[in-house]
Amino acid sequence: MSMLFIIVAALLLLGPLIAIHEFGHFWVARRLGVKVLVYSIGFGPTLLQWVSKKSGIQYRLAAFPLGGYVRMLDEREGDVPKDQLHLAFNRQSPWKRIAIVAAGPLINLLLAMVLFWILYLPASEQLNTRIGKIIEQSPAAQVDLRVGDQITAIDQQATPTWEKLNYALLARMGETGTVNVTVDRQGQVLDKQLPIQNFVKDQKQSPLQSLGFLPYQPSIPPILGQISADGAAAHQGMQIGDKITAIDGKPVTDWYEVVEIIRASPEKLLKFTVLRDGQSLELNVMPQARKDAMGIETGFIGAGIQAQNFKIPDAYLMKIQYSPVEALYMAADKTWQLSVMTLNGIVKMIRGLIGLDNLSGPITIAK
């Protein structure tokens, strides 16, 4: 991902969020009788400026839109005429000042809830929380979790979707102990205690990979259908139509296996065995290193699979249709979950359980 792309994404995504955040302060301040002097989107030199003849407010667009501010009348920042003292921010009651300061974050939360509500309205078909794969020698394998088990709760918290399940696991980030996984196995309810140690603190694996169970994934033959001209695969002679049969001598039959090995091997030489026109060839390819959206370094070779048609078994699917009221509840719940998860992460960072890399800041959001 290029730096230019990150900068453009930051401008397009964070700019409007900042404008809305500052508008929250601006709107509540005016409703509560505080005089606003400047409403600025961005910092640095002013590019555009307009002064309202009615209110006298200066509206500005500055050169660096990764920020903004609302300047209010305040005795601490300059002299205030006696006839305008009642309009100064510092002269307001505590509850008014709290409301003005809190309005920015609250309007961002409200915006998030509205957007989530829109996303929850359409009917959808999703994977249910039935386990599709158990990783060998993982905590899940050790406690006899099985393919087909449906996970119903994590630490007694209901997990009707994989999203809810991931939130419940992320709440344990950085911790050591056990995670209680409740499953439904053909009508029998079982509780399994999976050991964790500094859970996903190093971010080398996702929470699901760390515990060793994954959602259903269709079996996709590892036949190359796309080759990037500037990728490691092209440089080492891989071609469209090649079928990868082994990596470092280990047989592979599924594209997901190939992806996992490549992602886990940045700048590590791998020996690929491929089948081309009936002949078996060996190609040495070193995956290039890059960081994903969460800042984790992963490998990639610049190759993709051939288009495949597949059907997911009905046992792994569920249909979801929320009413407008139900969708609003789901949106509010998701906004709450994300807020709690962020605050929980900050607390754990202060306690030293996780590092800065485990928290997604503005630049990570832009990525």
Q: Are 261 and 252 in contact (CB under 8 A)?
A: yes
Q: Is 267 a catalytic residue?
A: no
Rg for the chain (alpha carbons), in Å? 26
Q: Are 160 and 335 in contact (CB under 8 A)?
A: no
CA proximity to 273, closest of 262, 284, 260, 282:
282
Q: How far apart are CA 244 and CA 253, in angstroms?
A: 8
**Could you say which of 22, 77, 257, 260 is catalytic?**
22
Question: Looking at beta carbons, which pairs linking 157-164 to residues 24 or more positions away fall under 8 Å?
Answer: 159/129, 160/129, 161/126, 161/128, 161/129, 162/126, 162/127, 162/129, 162/215, 164/337
Q: How far apart are CA 221 and CA 244, in angstroms?
A: 8
Q: What is the largest CA-CA distance in the chain?
A: 91
Q: For residue 174, which amino acid is it?
A: G
Residues designated as active site: 22
